Amino acid sequence: MPESAARLSSLLGLAYEPLMQDWEIQCADAHRIAEFLDLYERGSLSSDDHRFALMSLIVASFDDWISDGGTDDQLLQRVRRCLVADFSLHEATIYYWCLWDVEKVFPTTPFMREIWRQCK
């Protein structure tokens, strides 16, 4: 994912260092989800790796957005559509955020569990 993170950082004006861990978490921005979704939905990314990395950024940003009290149903539905449409590509990301075996969960965990149940 480092190549994809570098490419997306360049496209979106995000921070990037070659040894950066958890790029998607560090670059998450609850205020830019719509912009990130616009890029994803345009379908202009050249590889599944780039789409995977971008969706990881979107989900991390979405988690922050929910934590901040986000309630825009249209935005929520856009995230849902993208995840469902490309479930096979994002299955590992969705599963990670589901936290099935953990008592403490992320703000987005219930949403991710809905997606998982819908697609599995």
Q: Estimate to the nearest angstrom the gap between the alpha carbon of 5 and the chain centroid.
A: 13
Query: Could you report the per-residue pLDDT of 62-93, keeping only the tens digit for each?
Result: 999 999 999 999 999 999 999 999 999 999 99
pTM, whole model, 2 decimals? 0.95
Query: Could you report the per-residue pLDDT of 17-39, keeping only the tens digit for each?
Result: 988 899 999 999 999 999 999 99
Q: How many domains does the chain have?
A: 1
Dig out the tokens for 50 from the structure: 């780039």
Write out the residue range of the structural domain in which residue 71 sits.
2-119
**Cα–Cα distance measured from residue 100 to residue 109, given in angstroms and rounded to the nearest whole number:** 9
Asked if residues 55 and 84 have their Cβ atoms less than 8 Å apart, the reply is no
